[in-house]
């Protein structure tokens, strides 16, 4: 459903992505893993229309996304959960969720979507009238994911959902993401520095290093790949 080919993105003289190609198929969960500064956020921002590439193509179900703005891409049912959560801390949990359904098709199904995300995240249901900023980091990350789901996405893009969270909270977060993946036909694209946790739920993965992808495969293949093990899985 998502096809990225030969993508090049620069910030002035800094070449952040140098010829990236990847694919996400219907209902698949794909992980892009790599260290800090590898180009992961740049890749996601380009897919969702926040950055323009120098070269290359991004297609969603055959439609060209290059040149479309972030709002048009959201209307095509692509939800981007940004790095660092970015929930509206001075607004209630409920109002944050409602903002996630800002495009017409999502608005038409708002009640249904709210019921779905509040049943998926009972913690948010308990805290729905609380200001988002009063919640823990893990709860805010869950809110950010739930807000993304309010768009009724066919592709959910997540930028480092584990970032800044304690290991036990990361596990709980990924348990939820795995549950979402198993119980829906939505495609997911997850970017992570935490390689083992991302591969634990992804069907396939790509390793992004200095703006290029040299290693990719099924999560099972990557977990036993000697280079991946040495660089990212903490085995010596
Ligand atoms: N706004 C920016 N201006 C200039 N350079 C940037 C900007 N954002 C990112 N970069 C650079 O682009 C490269 C990739 O960054 P990024 O996509 O944020 O990596 P990651 O998300 O994998 O940590 C890095 O070298 C980073 O310093
Ligand atoms: Mg990043």
Atom of ligand 1 nearest to the CA of 193: 22
Share of the chain above pLDDT 70, in %: 99
For 13, the token pair is: 């003289």
Q: Is 11 in the pocket of ligand 1 (CB under 6 A)?
A: yes
Q: Can you give the pLDDT at residue 85? A: 82
Q: What is the DSSP letter of 91?
A: S
Q: What is the mean pLDDT of residues 148-156?
A: 97
SS3 166: coil
* Residue nearest atom 18 in ligand 1 by C-alpha distance: 41
What is this structure's pTM? 0.95
Atom of ligand 1 nearest to the CA of 211: 14
3-class secondary structure per residue, 173-201: HHHHHHHHHHHCCCEEEEEECCHHHHHHH
pLDDT in tens, 33-65: 999 999 999 999 999 999 999 999 999 999 999
For 152, the token pair is: 């009724």
Q: What is the mean pLDDT of residues 106-120?
A: 96
CB-facing half-sphere around the CA of 71: CA atoms within 13 A: 3
Taking domain 1-77+153-236, whether its CATH number is 3.40.50.720 is answered by no
Q: Is 41 in the pocket of ligand 1 (CB under 6 A)?
A: yes
Q: Can you give the pLDDT at residue 235? A: 57
Start and end residues for every CATH 3.40.50.300 domain found in the chain:
1-77+153-236
Q: Is 40 in the pocket of ligand 1 (CB under 6 A)?
A: yes
Among 37, 38, 190, 191, which is best to mutate for testing ligand 1, by the most ligand atoms less than 8 A from CB? Answer: 37
Q: Is 84 in the pocket of ligand 1 (CB under 6 A)?
A: no
Please report, for residues 6, 22, 66, 163, the alpha-carbon distance to residue 141 in angstroms, rounded to integers and kept in the order given. Answer: 32, 26, 29, 9
Distance CA 47, CA 164 (A): 24
Cα 234 to ligand 1 centre (Å): 24
SS3 128: coil
Please report, for residues 73, 98, 153, 180, the alpha-carbon distance to residue 117 in angstroms, rounded to integers and kept in the order given. Answer: 22, 11, 13, 10
């Amino acid at each position: 459903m998502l096809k990225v080919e030969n993508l090049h993105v620069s910030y002035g003289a800094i070449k952040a992505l140098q010829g990236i190609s990847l694919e996400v198929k219907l209902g698949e969960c794909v992980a892009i893993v790599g260290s800090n500064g590898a180009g992961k956020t740049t890749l996601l921002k380009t897919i969702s229309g926040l950055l323009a590439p120098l070269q290359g193509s991004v297609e969603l179900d055959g439609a060209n996304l290059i040149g479309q703005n972030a709002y048009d891409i959201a209307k095509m049912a692509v939800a981007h959960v940004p790095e660092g959560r970015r929930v509206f801390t001075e607004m209630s949990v409920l109002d944050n969720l409602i903002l996630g359904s800002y495009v017409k098709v999502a608005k038409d199904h708002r009640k249904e979507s709210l019921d779905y995300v509040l049943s998926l995240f009972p913690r948010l249901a308990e805290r729905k009238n609380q200001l988002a900023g009063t919640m823990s980091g893990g709860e805010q990350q869950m809110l950010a994911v739930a807000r993304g789901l309010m768009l009724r996405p066919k592709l959910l893009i997540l930028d480092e959902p584990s970032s800044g969270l304690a290991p036990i909270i990361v596990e709980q977060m990924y348990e939820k993401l795995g549950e979402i993946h198993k119980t829906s036909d939505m495609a997911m694209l997850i970017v992570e520095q935490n390689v083992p946790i991302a591969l634990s739920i992804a069907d396939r993965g790509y390793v992004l290093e200095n703006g290029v992808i040299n290693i990719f495969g099924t999560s099972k293949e990557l977990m036993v790949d000697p280079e991946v093990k040495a660089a990212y899985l903490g085995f010596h």
